[in-house]
Amino acid sequence: MEFRQLDTFAAVARQGGFTRAAEHLRLAQSAVSAQVRSLEAELGVPLFARTTRRVTLTQAGEMLLARYDRIQSELAGARSDLTELTAVLRGRVTLGATAVLGDFPLAAALAGFHDRHPGVDLSLRSDLIAGLLAALDAGETDLVIGPRHADLPDRFGARRIADEHLVLALPPGHRPVTSLADLRDELFVCLPAGSGLHQILRTAASAAGFIPRIPFEASSAMAIRDLVAAGVGVALLARSAATRPGPPIVTHSRARRSRTRRSP
């Protein structure tokens, strides 16, 4: 039994006769008749009841047509599955992310992407935003998630994915403050010079009328929190870092607002 014979049989059944089936298949009527006779001989049963006026399916023919339709449906499903298999997104994506991302669920987002696109290898790189943007410029990362600052170069596109707020972080028992200006005589803890947070602190302090003293530089927001909690100094800190579990600190929310954005 060949698929060509089955296709011809189905055409005769659906077109209602050998002449119409031959026209539909663009074959000679004799060729159509020969294929059906060959199929009937192989199966050992007649598939059509032939009269001078019409051709109808026998019970065996109806059963075979139903099986033929199921086979065609299975083949269509197989073709669809194979098409999806060959169209699976593949490759490697290197993602850069800062330690502070507001309420953006990075881990859950990466897990969801991996489930949807298992053919893509993900690589995660952590650094300050300046280092990540430099890596993006150099083609070492494909995408960066981190704070977007006002001086972001025009060559980078950006889309906001989460909001972040900056707060004043103070050691436990620190005197009450109402603004950044109240901390003009304090020592500050901050990320290294060149970081976005360092720039924000200097800009905000300048607007408040003073130059901040920053003798203590930390490599991460959580390290800043630990130093503040130990009484080393005060800081401007992302609320998401200030409210994470850890040593107790006092926060004051009257600080300028920042937004966390994804920037390729």
Examine the domain organization and report whether 125 and 75 are in the same domain. Answer: no
151-163 as b/e, with b when 16 or more CB fall inside 10 Å? ebeeeeeeeebbe
- Final residue of a domain: which of 107, 130, 159? 159
Examine the domain organization and report whether 146 and 169 are in the same domain. Answer: no
| Domain CATH for 67 | 1.10.10.10
Q: Where are the alpha helices (DSSP H) in the chain?
A: 3-15, 18-25, 29-43, 59-86, 106-116, 129-137, 196-207, 221-229, 239-242
Please state the separation of Cα 155 from the chain's center in Å.
23
Examine the domain organization and report whether 113 and 149 are in the same domain. Answer: yes
Contacts of 195-202 spanning 24+ positions with Cβ under 8 A: 195/128, 195/129, 195/130, 196/128, 196/129, 196/130, 196/146, 196/147, 196/149, 197/147, 197/221, 197/236, 197/238, 199/149, 199/151, 200/149, 200/166, 200/236, 200/256, 200/258, 201/236
| Domain CATH for 154 | 3.40.190.10
3-state secondary structure of 188: strand
Q: What is the pLDDT along the chain (264 residues), one digit of tens a residue?
A: 788 888 998 998 888 888 888 998 898 989 989 999 998 899 999 999 887 778 889 999 899 999 888 888 888 888 877 776 665 567 788 998 887 676 678 888 888 888 888 888 889 998 888 888 889 999 999 999 887 777 788 888 888 887 778 899 999 999 989 899 999 999 999 988 878 788 889 999 999 999 999 999 998 888 999 999 999 999 998 888 888 888 899 998 854 444 444 444
Query: How far are the Cα atoms of 160, 199, 262 from residue 138, in angstroms, in the given order?
Result: 23, 23, 18
Examine the domain organization and report whether 174 and 196 are in the same domain. Answer: yes
pLDDT at 184: 95
Question: What is the domain extent for residue 146?
Answer: 91-159
Amino acid identity of residue 4, one-letter, is R
Please state the separation of Cα 193 from the chain's center in Å.
33
Exposure of 216 by Cβ count < 10 A (0-12 exposed, 13-18 middle, 19+ buried)?
middle
Examine the domain organization and report whether 209 and 258 are in the same domain. Answer: yes
Examine the domain organization and report whether 65 and 146 are in the same domain. Answer: no
Examine the domain organization and report whether 139 and 172 are in the same domain. Answer: no
Examine the domain organization and report whether 217 and 196 are in the same domain. Answer: yes
pTM flag (> 0.85)? no
DSSP 180: G
pLDDT at 260: 42
Examine the domain organization and report whether 173 and 253 are in the same domain. Answer: yes
Examine the domain organization and report whether 59 and 111 are in the same domain. Answer: no
Examine the domain organization and report whether 153 and 186 are in the same domain. Answer: no
Task: Name the nearest CA neighbour of 202 among 222, 233, 180.
Answer: 180
- The two tokens of residue 188 are 């500050």
- Final residue of a domain: which of 68, 86, 104? 86
How many domains does the chain contain in total?
A: 3
- Final residue of a domain: which of 69, 86, 103? 86
DSSP 249: -
pLDDT at 189: 96
DSSP character string of 108-160: HHHHHHHHH-TTEEEEEEE--HHHHHHHHHTTS-SEEEEEPPTT--TTS--EE
Examine the domain organization and report whether 101 and 74 are in the same domain. Answer: no
- The two tokens of residue 203 are 């800009």
